[in-house]
Structure 1
Amino acid sequence: MNNLFNKTGMLFLLSLRRDWLKLLIWAIALSLFAGGFATALYEMYGKDPAGLIAMYETMKNPVMIAMLGPTAATAETYTIGAMYAHEMILFTALVFAIVSIMHVISRTRKEEDDGISELIRSFQVGRLAKTTAIVLEMLLLHVVIIALSTVLLQVQDIPGLNFSGNLLYSISLGVQGFLWAMIALIFVQIATGAGGARGLSFLTLGLFYIIRMATDMSAPDASWFNPLGWSYLVNVYVSDDWLPIVIAVVASIVCLVFSYILEHARDMGGGYLPERSGRDHAKERLLSLHGLILRLQKTFIISWLISIFIIGAMYGSIFEEMDEFVSDSEMMKQMFLHNANYTIQEQFMSVLFVVLSLLTTVFIVGSLMKLINEEKKGHWDQLYATKLSRAKFYWCHVILTFILGVLGQFSAILGLYLSQRSVMETPLSLWEITKAGIVWVPAEFFFIGILAILIGWLPRWTAIIWGYLVFSFFVSYFGQMMDIPEFIINLDIFSYIPKVPIEEWKWGTIILIKLLALFMIVIGFIGYKKRDLVHE
């Protein structure tokens, strides 16, 4: 058994030497994200008990519970700490999970696909040594994040945020990150490649998020069976329950042991999922570039369209409950029913489409990223050597992205429409929901413009687009609650989109955003056509 882990320590040190800068940046960024906004919330709400009560009433509404999860606090115990954890812990746990999944798969299955693991295994290295080195690296990363975020919360010295609560908050997030790293490690063994492992990991994460949206509304006790539920069930700053931490740690160990068993039994480069035998002859559509691109992205496109539809349907399913919730709360009427000409559903719909549009943006950005990612891997080299032009490569991907952007938004619209129609006595019309959803498409294309410039002129820095996307999500999601300065809000392209039907269509703004997106795409094409190919 010792031979299975031979040279683990050496590989761990080599991994740290290679990844130390990236891990340090992640540790600082995630710690700041987890604990850096407590002072801002305290300045806004902590000094005014009425402000806390208003936020408590706000967070009790079905939409907020679906997005952020429930809270165990009452109106009397809803302190600034309880509010901070309620607003931040689930969303931050998702960010931790995404980072962990990406790193684990990149350093395990992707390197196995690239032949790096086979080269390492040719030396006197244990079969499980490389995997264990990455596990230790992830463990160290999350321990550092726990320490940094706890210190960050502590030095802000906010009333109601004590050391034990700060530590539990940080540990809950750190354990979530490590748990999802171990879950991803299982899919690394099961899938037949890094792409499959990544897809299965994110699909599982998305499914658990969608499931908890339903259970938090109708069966809160079921959240104990959901890994994401263990993040907020600690009830930090309220009752400080450590049991979810214990469950998550045990689950992490079980996942790790299971992944070891799977890895020890499988062949290098293999997986447990069956691979379909290919056709004797390729379909005729693969003879064209657009047919090949569609074939390569088929699973990616279908899974995203279905996911967006389901999330839209989940939001639509709670529309009926909004009327009852608001009717029982005078404060909620004052906060949300500002215009008697619009129902509470119409006023909430504009908020929901911010989230749904950001999801569609992630979808289409991921699609266009395949143009540069396949280039870096050298997969396009043989095609570039043919008579196919750079222009055809570029515009095939860009036009596909435009089409997917519209399809993704209509998937959200259709899911929301069909779901709310099934639960409401007087449902919103398809046209009303379509107008509220389609107005966000220009902002989605603006992201494509930015990515196009990066692909054309800074191909090694395309990951910057994800940073801007996270920034936009945070500003759009937390902007009003955290009183973010106006000049920062103005940096978010989504802030310029009118919230239909509450606001009027701003045709001038929408056309300008479209023209800017098109201009950036053309500029990106000029750079793409002239530059050299890039490889990892």
Structure 2
Amino acid sequence: MSGLGTLVRLALRRNRWFLTVWLLALVVVVPATAAAYEQVVPDLGQGRLVIEGLANNPTMRAMLGPPFSLTEPGGFTVWRVGTFVATLAGVMSVLGTVRLTRADEEAGRTELLRSGVVGRHAPLAAATLVGLGACTLLGLLVSGAMVAVGTDPTGSAAFGLGVALTAGMFVGVGALAAQLTGSARAARGIGLAVLGVAYLVRAVADGVPADSPLRRLQWASPVEWMALARPYADERWSVLLLPAVLTAVLVALAVWAEARRDHGSGPWLPRPGPPTAGELLSSPSGLAWRLQRGTVLAWAVALAVFAGAIGSLTPSFAAMFSDLPQLEELLLRMGAGAEQLTQGFYVAMLSILVLVIAAHGLQLLGRLQHEETEGRAGIVLSTDVRRTRFALSHTLLALGAPTVLLLVCGALLAVPQAVDDGSWAVVTDVVAGAAALLPGVWLVVGLGLLLHGWVPQAGWIAWLVVGWSLVITWIGALLSLPDWLLELTPFARLPQLPVEDMRWLPVVVTTVVAAALLAVGLAGYRRRDLEA
């Protein structure tokens, strides 16, 4: 392990802003939710009845996880944002670990480091130590923040430890994925796919009835183990041995795999292509599709399965009201009702799906910059392909694939309810709601192209907009933030069908702004020098 200390310091130096932004974003959410508990659940029996009734509803359980001890701020926070924070911490771990392993190897930095006095496994060990250190710091910050807002110290320790171990487990996933493929892009795809499957398994297991055999799948989902440790509710510390042991196994497998592969290679390498290019590759748009079809299809399958699985739980709202007539009466007095609550569910799910799909659009657009930095864009542009045409080939895919995917997911969300009601009108309504949110996706992609066209180094700003929108959507209303702050997202002013009436002005304005951003971005890309 020669040079390990130096490599750790180098990894910290290179990842300091990446980790700082992630840690701050994740930590702020937790104490803010706990501090808002008294506003969300006033000290009244009716308020607690609403929360407990919703928590026991299969759909809400599928969205948020298993509820324990909702009568105090700590347990409510774990249920409301605990799984959300643990899952996003897993994303941080996968991206950060692949960034320091396979991405550095692909860029040639690892080979340069190994030309010095550096042990074979030192780069992997340094990346793993930095990742686990960041996860440990996240756990300490979560625990400290929860104690600071007055929650039980023991429960806070279990909460923080559960988040840290969940995130650390995906450091192991990222480290192993980096040994299996020949590119950082594929390694990230494997790591995030594992995380996505784990979250889907958790959602299905939590959403089924308690006596269903599928409920046992809770224990098969790593993102569920933190909640199953029951912070603030008679903690089960032994459950946290599961992520700890799995982390050790994954890291050991990563070291074992690294010792048995050549530098720059892996067991899952792309297959050699045909000796001559097909007709599809005769145009920039065909090339863009060929490069990204695997990514598009993987996202389409994952999100379609998720939308169908979550949508299948929608008819359970009626069962909840039949079991809790007091809750039904209370909600009716509040101006709601079973039908309105179901529509609210569709709006909530669409507001989450549209952000995930907007991130997919940015990922597809990011291939444009990847081709440029890898030098392949220069090769294509050395032919008679114009810059604008080359940029449009990736931009149109980044616009078109999310558009189709959002509409399909909207339909899949509503199909179970349509089958249960015997009427397909709800499918039309939810698809219309999805379509009303599409200009926000186009605006995000337009912002990404604008930044790439003029300031490629600032492309992270578009991702920051998506991340901010996700936080606002998930817990913005819960924290009672000012209305002007809640509206600082590309989607805030768009009509939320089928709950709200259609308003064409914000849809048209957002579409026009998105088109303007795309046009200005294309103009900048045509004028600036290519990145080396």
Q: Would you say same fold, with TM above 0.5?
A: yes
Partner of 1:480: 477
Partner of 2:34: 38
Matched letter for residue 177 of structure 1: A
Moved more, 311-320 or 248-257: 311-320
Change (3 A) 1:483 1:48: farther
Partner of 2:379: 382
Change (3 A) 1:446 1:181: same
Moved more, 386-395 or 109-118: 386-395
- Give 1:419 shift: 4.0
Change (3 A) 1:78 1:295: same
Partner of 2:107: 114
2:190 aligned to which of 196, 200, 216: 200
Moved more, 284-293 or 239-248: 239-248
Q: What value does the CA root-mean-square deviation take over the aligned residues? A: 2.3
Are residues 1:240 and 2:235 paired?
A: yes
Between the aligned partners of 1:242 and 1:457, the Cα distance in structure 2 is 52
Q: Is the 8 A contact 2:351 2:473 kept in 1?
A: yes
1:148 aligned to which of 141, 146, 157: 141
Between the aligned partners of 2:403 and 2:17, the Cα distance in structure 1 is 39
Change (3 A) 1:377 1:35: farther
2:74 aligned to which of 70, 81, 91: 81
Between the aligned partners of 2:195 and 2:508, the Cα distance in structure 1 is 36
- Give 1:297 shift: 0.7
Question: What is the TM-score when the length of structure 2 is the normalising length?
Answer: 0.92
Moved more, 269-278 or 161-170: 269-278
Alignment length (residue pairs): 525
1:131 aligned to which of 101, 107, 124: 124
Partner SS state of residue 70, structure 1: coil
Partner of 1:508: 505
Moved more, 520-529 or 498-507: 520-529
Change (3 A) 1:72 1:47: closer
1:28 aligned to which of 24, 28, 33: 24
Output one character per residue of 1:209-240: Cα deviation in whole Å (capped at 9) or x when no partner. Answer: 11111111223332122111112112111122
Q: Which runs of 5+ in 2 are unaligned?
A: 209-213
Are residues 1:433 and 2:423 paired?
A: no
Q: Once the two structures are aligned, what percentage of the paired residues are identical?
A: 23
Moved more, 436-445 or 145-154: 145-154
Q: Is the 8 A contact 1:85 1:169 kept in 2?
A: yes
Output one character per residue of 1:231-282: Cα deviation in whole Å (capped at 9) or x when no partner. Answer: 2112111122212221111110011111111111111111122542321211
Moved more, 346-355 or 179-188: 346-355
Moved more, 99-108 or 341-350: 341-350
Between the aligned partners of 2:339 and 2:154, the Cα distance in structure 1 is 45
Q: Is the 8 A contact 1:57 1:332 kept in 2?
A: no
Change (3 A) 1:290 1:521: same
- Give 1:64 shift: 1.7
Q: Is the 8 A contact 2:369 2:452 kept in 1?
A: yes
- Give 1:34 shift: 3.6
Moved more, 482-491 or 35-44: 35-44
1:458 aligned to which of 455, 469, 484: 455
Q: Is the 8 A contact 2:48 2:71 kept in 1?
A: yes
Are residues 1:335 and 2:331 paired?
A: yes
Change (3 A) 1:9 1:52: same
- Give 1:295 shift: 0.6
Partner of 1:169: 159
Partner of 2:245: 250
Q: Which runs of 5+ in 1 are unaligned?
A: none
Change (3 A) 1:383 1:266: same
Partner of 1:369: 366
Are residues 1:354 and 2:351 paired?
A: yes
Matches within 5 A, 1:154-303: 154-156=147-149, 158=150, 161-218=151-208, 219-273=214-268, 275-303=270-298
Between the aligned partners of 1:311 and 1:290, the Cα distance in structure 2 is 29
- Give 1:23 shift: 3.2
Q: Is the 8 A contact 2:78 2:231 kept in 1?
A: yes
Between the aligned partners of 1:25 and 1:429, the Cα distance in structure 2 is 40
Change (3 A) 1:51 1:295: same
- Give 1:340 shift: 6.5
Moved more, 323-332 or 310-319: 323-332
Output one character per residue of 1:57-103: Cα deviation in whole Å (capped at 9) or x when no partner. Answer: 22322222111111133xxx621211111111100011111111011
Partner of 1:105: 98
Are residues 1:314 and 2:304 paired?
A: no
Q: Is the 8 A contact 1:52 1:79 kept in 2?
A: no
Output one character per residue of 1:260-315: Cα deviation in whole Å (capped at 9) or x when no partner. Answer: 11111111111122542321211122121111111111101111111221111012
Output one character per residue of 1:182-225: Cα deviation in whole Å (capped at 9) or x when no partner. Answer: 01111111123211111111111111111111111223332122
- Give 1:178 shift: 0.9
Q: Is the 8 A contact 2:201 2:217 kept in 1?
A: no
Q: Is the 8 A contact 2:310 2:413 kept in 1?
A: yes
Partner of 2:493: 496
